[in-house]
Amino acid sequence: MNELNGVSFISQVQHPGVVALIVFYADWCAPSRLQISTLDSLTKIFGTKVVIGQVNVDLDPSLADQFQARTLPTSLLMAGGELVEILPGYQQEEFLKQYLDQLLESASQEAPPSSS
């Protein structure tokens, strides 16, 4: 799992073919700490197939403002560099896993055929 800021967010997340789960959190927020634990588990499940990261709103408030992360934690699901959904509040691991599986499947179907 990656700690992201404005620069690393763009370089790691906003690319065609990338599926990402980003959580905006704060150390002082108990639900945020639970969500980060869920991210650790999802990182083990998906490995490098999904970019999983976190943004500390106290260290990067401008990125939190850009995505209107007003509730902590707030999860962003992205595919192909585009925002798919913003989910405020704590999200269950199984729900996020199923959502990421769907995004990965959609991304693989949209991949251009290889030229021979």
The pLDDT tens digits of the residues spanning 42-65 come to 999 999 999 999 999 999 999 999
CA pair distance 42, 67, nearest whole angstrom = 22
CA pair distance 104, 40, nearest whole angstrom = 19
- Domain parsing of the chain, residue ranges: 2-103
Picking from 10, 24, 19, 77, the residue whose alpha carbon sits closest to that of residue 48 is 19
The pLDDT score that the predictor gives to residue 81 is 86
CA pair distance 64, 61, nearest whole angstrom = 5
Which residues on neighbouring strands pair with residue 83, listed in sequence order? 78
CA pair distance 75, 61, nearest whole angstrom = 15
> In angstroms, how far is CA 54 from the centroid of its own chain?
7
CATH fold for the domain made of 2-103: Glutaredoxin (3.40.30)
CA pair distance 70, 37, nearest whole angstrom = 20
Tens-digit pLDDT profile for residues 16-35? 788 999 999 999 999 999 99
For residue 10, what pLDDT band results from cuts at 50, 70 and 90? confident
Percentage of the chain surpassing pLDDT 70? 93
Picking from 2, 21, 16, 3, the residue whose alpha carbon sits closest to that of residue 84 is 21
Q: Does pLDDT of 116 surpass 50?
A: no
Tens-digit pLDDT profile for residues 65-83? 999 999 999 999 999 889 9
